[in-house]
Chains A and B, each alone.
Chain A
């Protein structure tokens, strides 16, 4: 009797757990695990949406094709260039801004909100507006440049200026996000550390070098890895502003995958490209976390 009551309760408990977890696991299976497994499988097949009923096993042919795909190599190279300059400028800038808005001054909230406003705005809206700001004929930037005597610039229509223009825009949009991460990190540094350093005669720069930077190492690592991952996922500005041009100078990896999959409808080859991209991303993230940990150990 007592045993069956306990059993009934156990069954009820089990049902409750299953019911509460089922939507999550069905969702994750259908929309995360299944697509990832499908991507890996499809990367060994020739599969075109033009002929969706035919699936031909071609072994590693998609991967060997990649080796000769100079446009894909260019897009990977561009992605590295994009990520490198974005990180190089955005991280120090974000740290500077974080230190600037860290002081508890009246009205500082306005400055913080202004810096963060682009983060909550849609990437596509920002790309649309900056696209017009960069317009060679009527854009705002050329109005300013003509007014100060530099003269009109081609920006997105020039193979040499398009990438820097897109990097500048994306730094403007994302720097507030990195700043907030640094602000949280700075708040975690006890005030006594700075006081102790000041008593030891450390100047502003020395306090920054020997207190702020070492104690911020985990935050810097976090910011570095998230910025890298985001940089490898950029798509919308490219689609809206340049479609990868001029002369493939702004073709980034995700845009290349999108084009193979949804413009040329080569789902198999696009899957192989995606598999390579995520492999690359995992390797870079692993190297970064290893390297930074070794750098800052003391």
Chain B
């Protein structure tokens, strides 16, 4: 920038370089800038608070007893948020009385299986669509994209009937198997594979590599960012899924955490806010950490697909 250059280097004809420091020297302008800066800072702070508060309320309340949450709701003080007597009782009771550990394990199994299945199946199909030539290939790819147009909510009733007729209801397999042949995943990986220079394949072909060797040794190692994006997104879809597990899993011992947490709220007997907050925090915090660590991968996928 002109301002940071030493005066000797300045071109005297460069009006910007001469005028700007002079203009900034007048106190009125710098005061105005300062006020604007503070104003912007406050605006940013308000935005952050608006988006963080529900999370903060959830996590902080997890360390309060339900009675305490109720007692400090009015009047509004810091104890409405901060636990006056922090306790782990809620965590103890969800794990030792409500079997939350099993639900956590169920979610972990379903999400890991969905992630691995998606990566394997989508990368295979994407390789064929990106690299191999045969008649009818583009029509097949169009068919894949067409499948992406059908929203699950429309299919939920008959999909349940299909899964039932395969005798899969109430199995872990039912939780993830419908989603691993994923048109979005194939589209995302195909884009990434197309960006890998063809010279890499040609060099391997000259050495007598088979299509599988090219897929394994050339394409996959060079598409790592896209594979991470898809791994992260498919894990999150599965982890956050609600309607499908609600429909297909009637065996409460195999139910995933999201459904288990939401049905904690249903019984009308005793409100168990503390336990709900503890369970919700455990289901959410690892996901937020994962997102913050890998957010550039996630956001790339979201922008490319228009899918959360």
Contacts and interface: CB of A to CB of B under 8 A. Distances in A.
Query: Sorted from nearest, which 4 A-B pairs have the closest CB atoms?
Result: A27-B181, A147-B76, A38-B158, A122-B240
Nearest to B124: A20
A20 B183 contact: no
Contacts of A130: 54
Interface stretch (A159-167, A199-207, A274-282): A274-282
Nearest to B298: A120
Interface string A103-132: 000001011011111111111111111111
Contacts of A17: 128, 132, 134
A127 B161 CA distance: 28
Contacts of A38: 158, 161-162
Given A129-B54, A180-B302, A31 B177 contact: yes
A261 B156 contact: yes
B295 to A, nearest CB: 7
Interface string B159-188: 111100010000000000111110100100
Given A31-B159, A124-B259, A146-B75, A274 B154 contact: yes
Given A33-B147, A117-B288, A140-B57, A124 B262 contact: yes
18 contacts: A20-B124, A21-B124, A23-B124, A32-B150, A36-B150, A39-B157, A116-B299, A118-B51, A121-B288, A124-B262, A137-B70, A140-B53, A184-B303, A232-B151, A235-B153, A239-B262, A274-B154, A277-B154
B261 interface: yes
A24 B280 contact: no
Tell me what chain B mostly uses at the interface: helix, strand, loop, or mixed: helix
Interface residues of B, number: 85
B157 A132 contact: no
B230 interface: no
Interface string B48-90: 1011111101100000000001100111100010000000000
Contact of B276 (A117, A128, A261): A128
Contacts of B153: 232-233, 235, 254, 257, 274, 277
Given A38-B162, A42-B158, A123 B242 contact: yes
Given A28-B181, A267-B161, A138 B76 contact: no
Contacts of A39: 154-155, 157-158
A115 B51 contact: yes
B122 A147 contact: no
A24 B178 CA distance: 11
A76 interface: no
Given A100-B44, A113-B292, A124-B262, A133 B155 contact: no
B47 A36 contact: no
A115 B48 CA distance: 7
Contacts of B31: none
Contacts of B54: 118, 126, 129-130, 133, 140, 172
A75 interface: no
A131 B158 CA distance: 31
A150 B109 CA distance: 47
Given A122-B283, A123-B242, A132 B276 contact: yes
Contacts of A125: 258, 261, 280, 283-284
Nearest to B280: A125
Interface string B269-285: 00001001100100110
A116 B181 contact: no
Interface of B: 43-44, 47-48, 50-55, 57-58, 69-70, 73-76, 80, 120-122, 124-125, 127-128, 132, 134, 140, 143-144, 147, 150-162, 166, 177-181, 183, 186, 211-212, 236, 239-240, 242-243, 246-247, 258-259, 261-262, 264-265, 273, 276-277, 280, 283-284, 287-288, 291-292, 295, 298-299, 302-303, 306, 308
A56 interface: no
Nearest to A282: B149
A132 B51 CA distance: 17
Given A36-B150, A131-B265, A239-B262, 14 more contacts: A24-B121, A28-B183, A113-B291, A116-B291, A118-B51, A122-B242, A142-B73, A181-B306, A232-B153, A235-B153, A240-B262, A258-B243, A262-B160, A274-B153
A51 to B, nearest CB: 14
A34 B178 CA distance: 12
Nearest to A253: B153
A88 interface: no
Given A36-B150, A114-B52, A146-B75, A21 B306 contact: no
A275 B273 CA distance: 39
A271 interface: yes
B164 to A, nearest CB: 9
Contacts of A176: 51
A26 B181 contact: yes
Contacts of B73: 137-140, 142-143
A278 B154 contact: yes
B145 to A, nearest CB: 11
B280 A129 contact: yes
B52 to A, nearest CB: 5
B158 A36 contact: yes
A93 to B, nearest CB: 11
Nearest to B54: A129
B158 A271 contact: yes
A262 B246 CA distance: 10
